[in-house]
Every structure is written in C-alpha cells, then in structure tokens.
Amino acid sequence: MASPRVLVLRAPGTNCDVETAFAFESCGGAVSSVHVNQLIEDPLLGKDFQILCFPGGFSFGDDIAAGRILAQRLAVHLSDLVQAFCSEDRLVLGICNGFQIMMRLGMFFPDQVDQPPATLTQNKQARFEDRWVHLINSNSNSVFLRGIENIYLPMAHAEGRFALRDRAAGDALAAAGQLGLRYCKEGEGVVDATLPFPHNPNGGDRNVAGISDPTGRIFGLMPHPERHLDATHHPFWTRREEQPEHGEGRQIFENAIQYFE
C-alpha cells in the first residue's frame, strides 16, 4: 500500500513544521510541507492528502490572538478544503498553535459553531510556560491516542488554557470521549478538579491538554509530541536504567499512519 500522504501547513511564524514533517516521515508518511499562500493560490493541491497537520509556532506572530489570523485566512479562502478533511475519512492534527487554529475554525464542535462549548485562552498565570508535563488518556475516542495510556511531553505556550462554557458542556464532551488528553500527576489517574501548577501548567478546566471531534479523526493538543520522538529527547534520559526504542510522542504519529494501513 502507498504511504499515506501528509500535508503539513505552514505560514509566516510557523516554526515546528520541519520537526513535525520528520515525525510523520519517520513513521512512514509521505509528507509535503506547503505554505498557506501556495494552497490559497491552488486549493486543489490539498485534495489528495489523507492527513492534514497544523504544526506549532506563532503563525502571523499570534497577532490579535493565537492562531486567529491563519484561522481567518483558512475560513475565507480554504473553507471547502477544511470541510473536506472534516467530513471525509481523513485525519487532522493540530499541535499547540495548530490546536489554537483548529479551535478558532470550530473543527471540534461541528454542530455548535455559533455557540462553542469551549475555547482556548490565556494561561491562568498570564505568562508563557515552557516545561515537561505528564498526560493521561481519559477515555479518548481519538485515533491519535490509540494504545496510549500515559505520555510525557514538553509544552510551550501562553494561550493554552482550555475553558469550558459551563459544567453541562464539559460533562457532554467528556461522555463523548472528546476530552481525551488530560494533565495529571505522575503515577496518578484522571481528576476533574483543576490540578495545581505545575501539574496543570495553564489552569485549564478539567486539566484538559487535548481534545477531539465526535468522530475521533480530528485531534488537537497543546503539548508537542514531535519534540519527544527519540528516547534521548527525554530530559532525564542519561539517568534511566533502560532506554526505550523511541520517545513517547512517536506513537501519536504512528497511529495516524497506521489508520490508513
């Protein structure tokens, strides 16, 4: 079978596209890194891809708000392409700034675009945070989290706090398996009560670090799996008695490629 084709979309300010492309390539994907202006000029460039990825960075300098300008350009010029990825049997992944872009496009809540049940906003401590975090799979429906129970990844963001509209909205999303990736304390399980800093690095509701759409094919997360592909990326790798073959973030990309096998 031919390798699944992966479209990594970049824009001015994107700075994680090379690492993200490498992550997909190392797992067997056929990757093309495409600038948003190229895609606007010829939207048909995106028609033959199975996976769309919005990588991390600071698209358009995060002017106005994180991901806002790129999301607006996509909504105005490429809404048909975005909708095709959402409605067909394809996958979409957003990492950090990519997650913010997808949230602003309404990709996770297709039936609630006018009144979304949640958003991403400024970290509770109102500053940029850069650290490693423990994460747990909380009954996720996501294709990207298959086979993952716990994962340790780096995060780096200033506007990554997940904010729910109300308790009822959170209950409904959790019941549907959409609040699938949560911050946690090492060795402990899922809790809904907001964990203290630094276990929850931004104060997000229900300790949410990543969410999916109702189908599980569309997934966004604030931590960076592409920054933990190799065992030596782990901050304490020299102290570990046994080295795993790969870093913990790699399985997210493997799951995406294996979905089409």
Residues with active-site annotation: 96, 224, 226
SS3 content of the chain, % helix, strand, coil (to 5): 35, 25, 45
Angle (nearest 5°) at CA 248 between 17 and 129: 60
Rounded Cα–Cα distance for residues 151 and 90 (Å): 24
SS (H, E, C) 227-252: HCCCHHHCCCHHHCCCCCCCCCCHHH
Q: Is 255 exposed, middle or buried (0-12, 13-18, 19+ CB in 10 A)?
A: buried
The answer to whether the beta carbons of residues 97 and 57 sit under 8 Å apart is: yes
CB atoms within 10 A of CB 34: 17
User: Of 143, 122, 100, whose CA–CA distance to 253 is shortest?
Assistant: 143
Give the pair of three-digit tokens for residue 183. 């911050």
